[in-house]
Amino acid sequence: MVNTLSHIGIGLLLAHVLGLKGKKRLGLVLLSVIPDLDYLGYSLFTLISGGVSHEARTQLFFLLGHREFTHSVFFAFMVALLILLKTKDRAFTFGGFLAVFLHIFLDYTTSAKMRPFYPFSTNESALRAIYPFDPVINVLPLLPLFIVAAEYMKNRRQWDTKNKGSWNIKSKGSWSVKNKDNWNIKSKNKWNLEFKDRWSIRSRDILNRKLSRLNGFHSFVNRNEGKFYASFIIVLLIWTTMFPVAKVFLVDRISRAEGTEISYNDTYPISIGKFLATYSCSDSQYKLLEVSYWSGVEKSFYVEKVTVAGDVPDASTYAERAGKLYSNSVPQAIDYPVYSVSEKDGYVTVILSDARNPYVKNWPYFDTVYRFVFDRESGEYEVYESHYGRAEKKLDKNYFE
């Protein structure tokens, strides 16, 4: 998950590198955030999904869900083709493809699962090698925006200088006449002669010093524009390549040490330079490993797959039923399901969540809890979902079957 401003910065950076200006530069900036327009599609999906069949709901989610179709490589090629047909401009088409593709790639390196090869494959995956709040991929792309802001301030200062005299004469005279009767003459004179002039001089000096620094920075960028923007791209490429490659070796080494196969895609970044690896160590437990890119495994935890409150002799049967229902739904956010089973007044309740939930902060994408309530006598059930700690909502039956 990379913030929207950083995606905009990537688009602006590409426009500078490709030498695009004017409407084409603005177009590239807009294209850099177009995948996130799926928020609008998802809003439509939530309105209509309850009135369709289970199969139709699933297909609609693939098309309209957040980080689904608009975050696929096919979508990037489709956008590029539309640009080429419309503009016949190869440079702008190439830039548009890169703007969309880099948005998808940066999101893919962080934490949320996506279907990058939809519609040819509905398999979900994510590199999950870089922390979503990593300062390099979130802050570095903001520098092009800062440069644009510096240019704007410079141009605005020149405009203010040209128009300063006429504005002061008009505004000062009209304000004084209109408010003369309601303003204390003594305090007005004191403000004008002492405080206002002193503050105006001081504030102008401070502003001039800041603008001088901005102008100096902007001049430096103009003199070294090619090298400056190229260095941004190199740093981002190295950073977004280094962690996924290092993670390959780390996961392989830990798998050999633990004597099992640990899923690369199901590891999860928990801070800058750390991720959580998980595997099923027995029929009843998961083992969680807190891994640092710098020092390897630092901590480990064991989590029970099924816990039972009270006397529920067929608890495993109800946990299995809840798991099967969940496996039919989309999205599939939970990779390592744990079940808490209890019974009261003939109703069996199964709480389904991810084993990693207690060990990950800052809004993990699997921080969803499902509550299945089964009527033991009739076999009917209801399902409730709470997401990111929000209030529960009841889910429609077509969510599962």
Higher-confidence position of 26 and 152: 26
Is residue 1 within 8 A of residue 110, CB to CB? The reply is: yes
Beta-carbon-side half-sphere exposure of residue 55 (alpha carbons within 13 Å): 0
Burial class (CB within 10 angstroms; exposed 0-12, middle 13-18, buried 19+) of 276: buried
Calpha distance 100→77 (Å, rounded): 9
How many domains are contained in the chain? 2
Given this model, what pLDDT does residue 207 score? 57
For range 34-51, the mean pLDDT: 93
- The answer to the question of residue 317 being in a domain is yes
For the segment 94-117, the average pLDDT, to the nearest whole number, is 93
27: in domain: yes
Out of 100, 126, 152, pick the residue that ends a domain. 126
Residue 346, number of CB atoms within 10 A of its CB: 10
Q: Which two tokens stand for residue 46?
A: 């939530």
Residue-range definition of the domain harbouring residue 25: 4-126
Dihedral sign computed on CA atoms, order 15, 16, 17, 18: positive
Q: Which of 78, 101, 126 is the last residue before a domain boundary?
A: 126
Q: What is the DSSP letter of 284?
A: S
pLDDT value for 81: 97
In a domain? residue 215: no
Residue 339's CB is within 10 A of a number of other CB atoms, namely: 22
In a domain, 381, yes or no: yes
pLDDT band per the 50, 70, 90 thresholds, residue 29: very high
Rounded to the nearest 10°, the torsion over CA 156, 157, 162, 164 is 100
Q: 157: exposed, middle or buried (C-beta count within 10 Å: 0-12, 13-18, 19+)?
A: middle
Q: Is the pLDDT of residue 261 over 80?
A: yes
Higher-pLDDT residue of 16 and 33 is 33
Joined tokens for residue 374: 């089964």
Average pLDDT over all residues of the chain: 85
Chain segment 218-251, per-residue pLDDT in tens: 565 566 665 777 788 788 889 999 999 999 999 9
> Looking at the predicted structure, is the pLDDT value of residue 36 above 50?
yes
What per-residue confidence (pLDDT) applies to 17?
83
Q: What is the pLDDT of residues 305-322, one digit of tens each?
A: 999 999 999 999 999 999
Tell which of 107, 126, 145 closes a domain. Answer: 126
Q: Is residue 3 within 8 Å of 138, Cβ to Cβ?
A: yes
Q: Across residues 46-58, what is the average pLDDT? A: 94
Flag whether pLDDT at 359 surpasses 70.
yes
pLDDT tens-digit series, residues 170-219 = 444 544 444 555 545 455 555 454 545 555 666 655 655 655 555 555 56
Q: Is the residue at 309 inside a domain?
A: yes
Tokens of 224: 């070294």
Q: Strands 306-308, 337-344: parallel, antiparallel or unpaired by DSSP? A: parallel
Decide if pLDDT at 82 tops 90: yes
Largest CA distance in the chain: 89
Instruction: Identify the H or E element spanning 109.
Output: helix 90-109
Distance of CA 111 to the CA centre of its chain: 9
Give the list of residues 6+ apart from residue 231 with CB closer than 8 angstroms, or none: none
pLDDT of residue 159: 47
pLDDT (0 to 100) of residue 251: 96
**Residue 318 Cα to chain centre, angstroms:** 35
**Percentage of residues in the chain having pLDDT higher than 70:** 80
> Running DSSP on this structure, what letter comes out for residue 267?
-
Q: Which of 75-89, 163-177, 280-294 comes out lowest in average pLDDT?
A: 163-177
Q: Tell me the two tokens of residue 112.
A: 């949320």
- Check residue 179 and give its pLDDT: 52
C-alpha dist (Å) from residue 337 to 275, 304, 319, 328, 354: 19, 10, 10, 14, 5
194 assigned to some structural domain: no
Q: Is residue 274 part of a domain?
A: no
pLDDT over 50 at 57, yes or no? yes
Residue 351: per-residue pLDDT: 97
pLDDT-derived band at 337 (thresholds 50, 70, 90) equals very high
Contact 372, 325 (CB under 8 A): yes
pTM for the predicted model, two decimal places: 0.81
Let me know if residue 391 belongs to a domain.
Answer: yes
The string of pLDDT tens digits covering residues 372-391 is 999 999 999 999 999 877 88
